[in-house]
Amino acid sequence: MRRMLASIAIAMVACARPACAVSDEVLIGAGHEGRPQSCARYPHRACNLGTAGERALTPVVADEATRYLRERGVRVIRVPADFDGRFAVKDAVFIHFDGSASPCSSTASIGYHRRSDAPAARMWRALYGHDWPFGFEPDNFTSNLSDYYAFRQVRASDAALVLELGELTCPAQHAWLESHLKWEGDEIGRFLLERVHADV
Ligand SMILES: [Zn+2]
């Protein structure tokens, strides 16, 4: 049974050239970007619009990370929340901000589906956490993180991560995040540049 499930999982991410040749490309997704307009095309997915303000901020960070990497010669596939096709890349990140019903009860977090993604998550935690003042939740602290829908469309030879950059419903975190958007994009760019060039 387990073997059958594994082969189904592999088949799900198998993809035809030229759409997804194995490469050292990275894929960057902006959480909730393009919604709600794109939701009608993907009725099998929950149309999660994100926390207040999130949809405006994720593309800013994703675009800056993309700019940072392209300027340094890295090929980037930049996607919104809903996209077609399957991609084989070296690394993938999906950028989000969190929201909480009780403000300031959460902070930054990282999601991934495979144990092999954990070293990249540790690296991001060290890099971002060096300057981000509000700490991290445990990895995969919600099932939305470990079973993020877009993981099914990406085969990452190194790592695929959801990066929740902080809690927008917490005024102190919101203020910090909004005043560091370019830095956040550049930090993600630095992280991906290092992953792409590492021999992993
Ligand atoms: Zn989100």
Neighbours of 127 (CB within 10 A): 15
Going residue by residue through the chain, which has 200 residues, state the pLDDT in tens, using 9 for 90 and above. 444 444 434 434 444 444 444 468 999 999 999 999 999 999 988 999 999 999 999 999 999 999 999 999 999 999 999 999 999 999 999 999 999 999 999 999 999 999 999 999 999 999 999 999 999 999 999 888 999 999 999 999 999 999 999 999 999 999 999 999 999 999 999 999 999 988 75
pLDDT for the residue 200: 56
What's the CA-to-centroid distance between 187 and ligand 1, angstroms? Answer: 19
* H helical segments located in 20-155: 54-71, 118-129, 143-146
Residues 6 or more apart in contact with residue 103 via CB below 8 angstroms: 167, 169, 170, 171
What's the CA-to-centroid distance between 46 and ligand 1, angstroms? Answer: 12
What's the CA-to-centroid distance between 145 and ligand 1, angstroms? Answer: 10
Domains within the chain, CATH numbers bracketed: 2-197 (3.40.630.40)
Question: Looking at the DSSP assignment, which residues form a beta bridge with residue 163?
Answer: 95, 110
pLDDT for the residue 23: 64
Which of 51, 190, 70 is closest to 131 using CA atoms? 190
What's the CA-to-centroid distance between 100 and ligand 1, angstroms? Answer: 11
pLDDT for the residue 17: 44
CA end-to-end span of the chain, whole Å? 30
pLDDT for the residue 129: 97
Cα separation, 86 vs 194, in Å, equals 24
Query: Which is it for the CA torsion 13, 22, 146, 34, positive or negative?
Result: negative
What's the CA-to-centroid distance between 53 and ligand 1, angstroms? Answer: 10
Tokens of 93: 């990140």
Query: Which is it for the CA torsion 52, 48, 55, 190, positive or negative?
Result: positive
